[in-house]
Amino acid sequence: MSNKIAFLFPGQGSQTVGMCRELAERFPIARETFAEADEAVGFSLSKLCFEGPEEDLKLTENTQPAILTVSIATLRVLALHGIEPALAAGHSLGEWSAHVAAGTLAFADAVRSVKARGKAMQLAVPAGQGGMAAILSLSPEQIAEACAEAAQETGLIVSAANFNSPAQTVISGALAAVEKAAELAKSKGARRAVMLPVSAPFHCALMQPAQEEVARVLSTLALAAPRIPVAANVTGGLVNTADAAKDALIRQVTGAVRWVDCVQSLVAAGADLFIEVGPGKVLSGLLRQIDPAQKCLNVADSASLEKALAELAAPESAE
């Protein structure tokens, strides 16, 4: 296989009831991954993923370990077929999956840690006080202006949270400030400003208590140097050491997700094939917006696995 493959791991919002059930029925390694996760968190995370109910799966402290487990089960099925990454990145929570893939973190440690991370993020801001909004087709500089003006006017926190693609930036903060910044963004020429149905204002300064909890949790774990370079959300650059990985995982709780920079770093490092590993196709869609020349497959179930394996086996001349 001549491709230099980069694995992309999804974050919160990609969950669906029934995710990975089919792969777990078909592959013992996927079933074993869920059994390991169930033991790590002390309840049947597998049942929650496979059967729901959706309202429980949507709870942040459940969503995060659920998506991580689905991603790692899928990763292990790919490894069974000889498909291994040379590089990795993950969006927000997905950065933890990327570090499990890179061997930086043990899977069971990561599952327990992201459950604690999710709970801390949920508790950091009382329900209804924070918000997030997606701003479409406005430059990051103009979005920063809108956030600064809204913060000044309201006396509340709002800032860019996710630089998802050249056409999409998400802002986060206190609800009134986010609503004001969204209004200002539209007046500056944004095509749309859409409030998002989220349970907390992720990736902004209001998440400081959660960042402190993540730092505490990570201080109890032994991290290894990543076997492969992993893109860090908070800088957009690649990390190669255990200390840099830990620092990046801590700082991303309040820091913005620089996803455009992450993808560009992977391409600069030689990635010429991307595989989204885990539920949904969000990152495949963003990659098309960031760099349409890149090829991206996704693997989430048996059908997408077979399709990806067929494409990977095809001679390059057939592309």
Q: Which residues are the active-site residues?
A: 92, 203
DSSP summary character for residue 83? -
> Phi then psi for 292, rounded to 5 degrees?
-60, -20
Q: In whole angstroms, what is the distance from residue 123 CA to residue 108 CA?
A: 23
Asked whether the beta carbons of 275 and 309 are under 8 A apart, the reply is: no
DSSP summary character for residue 85? -
DSSP summary character for residue 137? S
Sequence letter at residue 262:
C
Q: In whole angstroms, what is the distance from residue 85 CA to residue 97 CA?
A: 13
- For tokens 């989204």, the residue is 276
**CA separation (Å) from 133 to 13, 155, 160, 197?**
14, 18, 10, 9
The contacts of residue 123 (CB under 8 Å, 6+ apart) are 209, 210
Q: Which residue from 277, 264, 271 is spatially nearest to 228, judged by alpha carbons?
A: 271
Q: In whole angstroms, what is the distance from residue 86 CA to residue 222 CA?
A: 23
